[in-house]
């Protein structure tokens, strides 16, 4: 603020307070019953009662408060006030307090492994906050996902549900690519697959269709989805036998998948979140699954003939 405007503000502010006080004291005189001396219509007179005491005192206190405030805090033009308070400094202080609290919260969790963190209500609360800020946009606030975005609360994992697999997924991201492989197939081959794959988990499926489909599957799809159709956690190829669909299921959904292909990207968080944040959010995700898969189960299961479950 230029000196002129600073002076302007000071003069106006202090002048107003002085004017209020002058008005107050100028009207404080008078006594009950005394009149101002004005007379209207021959006998109408105006009393000159003093201001009520409480009102008068309140006004004096308010004025004193105003002056005190202007002396201590910035308010008078360029004068900074005796306390030297600024709003940026206050903000910095609040931020510092929050950062310190955050550090302490994470420090309290240091050295705990992810299953232990998943049991810890404090860690889960922290992890949930990280999740809501960064992950809920794609996976949903309830982590139950949507078409193309996996549900993180069930026991069906594309890349594995062990603590290590979850941390790796979050840290480095993942890319799932299903080629539009159906385009190159004969109509019969496609037909055999579409009569089978969408109904894999259905025990009532016609055994002849199952057999024909299985044969075609072994030729075209098994390299990625596994001979047993249970998926491949290295590629993120989903289990096709459990009737849990990342994209649309049913004949139309599977047809769309094999004709158009699918591509999904889970972003990498290593440059966005700190390792501590990744650990607590991984623990939160780990805590959501009903039966977290022990690390050994992430290895490909031995091939079993696909019979009715």
Binding site residues, ligand HEC, CB under 6 A: 131, 134-135, 137-139, 148-150, 152, 157-159, 166, 169-170, 174-179, 181-182, 193, 197, 220-221, 223-225, 235-238, 240, 245-247, 254, 257-258, 262-267, 269, 281, 285
Q: Which is nearer to ligand HEC, 152 or 212 (CB)?
A: 152
CB 185 within 8 A of CB 193: yes
Structure tokens at 124: 């889960």
Q: Which is nearer to ligand HEC, 79 or 247 (CB)?
A: 247
State the minimum distance, in angstroms, from the CB of residue 206 to ligand HEC.
18
Q: Classify the phi-psi angles of 111: left when phi > 0, otherwise alpha if psi is within -120 to 50, otherwise beta.
A: left
State the minimum distance, in angstroms, from the CB of residue 124 to ligand HEC.
13
CB 161 within 8 A of CB 289: yes
Structure tokens at 141: 């606030």
State the minimum distance, in angstroms, from the CB of residue 271 to ligand HEC.
12
Q: Which is nearer to ligand HEC, 51 or 255 (CB)?
A: 255
CA 102/CA 97 separation, integer angstroms: 9
Q: Which is nearer to ligand HEC, 77 or 196 (CB)?
A: 196
Q: Which is nearer to ligand HEC, 129 or 224 (CB)?
A: 224
> Which residue minimizes CB distance to ligand HEC?
176
Q: Which is nearer to ligand HEC, 181 or 205 (CB)?
A: 181
State the number of CA atoms in the 13 A half-sphere of 250 facing the CB.
3
Neighbouring C-beta atoms of residue 52, cutoff 10 Å: 9
Structure tokens at 193: 């697959």
State the minimum distance, in angstroms, from the CB of residue 295 to ligand HEC.
14
State the minimum distance, in angstroms, from the CB of residue 73 to ligand HEC.
43
CA 268/CA 265 separation, integer angstroms: 9
Block residue for tokens 């941390």: 167
State the minimum distance, in angstroms, from the CB of residue 147 to ligand HEC.
9
State the minimum distance, in angstroms, from the CB of residue 299 to ligand HEC.
15
CB 214 within 8 A of CB 194: no
Q: Which is nearer to ligand HEC, 17 or 185 (CB)?
A: 185
State the minimum distance, in angstroms, from the CB of residue 71 to ligand HEC.
51
CA 296/CA 277 separation, integer angstroms: 26
Q: Which is nearer to ligand HEC, 123 or 235 (CB)?
A: 235
Which residues does 253 contact at the CB level (< 8 Å), separation at least 6? 198, 245, 247
CB 245 within 8 A of CB 199: no
Between the alpha carbon of residue 42 and those of residues 34, 38, 48, the distances in Å are 17, 10, 18
Q: Is 298 exposed, middle or buried (0-12, 13-18, 19+ CB in 10 A)?
A: middle
């Amino acid at each position: 603020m230029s000196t002129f405007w600073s002076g302007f503000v000071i003069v106006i502010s202090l002048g107003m307070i002085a004017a209020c006080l002058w008005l107050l004291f100028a009207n404080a005189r008078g006594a009950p019953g005394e009149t101002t001396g004005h007379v209207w219509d021959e006998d109408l007179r105006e009393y000159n009662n003093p201001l009520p005491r409480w009102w008068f005192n309140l006004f004096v206190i308010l004025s004193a408060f105003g002056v005190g405030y202007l002396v201590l805090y910035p308010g008078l033009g360029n004068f900074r006030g005796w306390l030297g308070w600024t709003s940026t400094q206050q903000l910095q202080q609040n931020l510092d307090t929050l950062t310190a609290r955050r550090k302490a919260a994470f420090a309290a969790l240091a050295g705990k492994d992810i299953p232990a963190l998943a049991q810890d209500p404090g860690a889960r609360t922290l992890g949930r906050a990280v999740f809501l800020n960064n992950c809920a946009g794609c996976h949903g606030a309830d982590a139950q996902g949507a078409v193309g975005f996996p549900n993180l609360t069930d026991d069906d994992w594309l890349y594995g549900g062990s603590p290590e697999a979850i941390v790796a997924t979050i840290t480095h991201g993942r890319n799932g690519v299903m080629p539009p492989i159906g385009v190159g197939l004969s109509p019969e081959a496609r037909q055999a697959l579409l009569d089978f794959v969408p109904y894999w988990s259905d025990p009532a499926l016609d055994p002849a269709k199952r057999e024909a489909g299985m044969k075609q599957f072994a030729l075209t799809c098994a390299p990625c989805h596994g001979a047993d159709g249970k998926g491949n956690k290295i590629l993120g190829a989903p289990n096709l036998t459990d009737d849990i669909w990342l994209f649309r299921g049913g004949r139309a959904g599977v047809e769309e998948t094999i004709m158009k292909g699918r591509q999904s990207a889970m972003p990498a968080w290593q440059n966005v979140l700190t390792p501590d944040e990744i650990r607590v959010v991984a623990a939160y995700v780990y805590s959501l699954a009903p039966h977290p898969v022990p690390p050994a189960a992430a290895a490909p299961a031995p091939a079993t003939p696909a019979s009715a479950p």
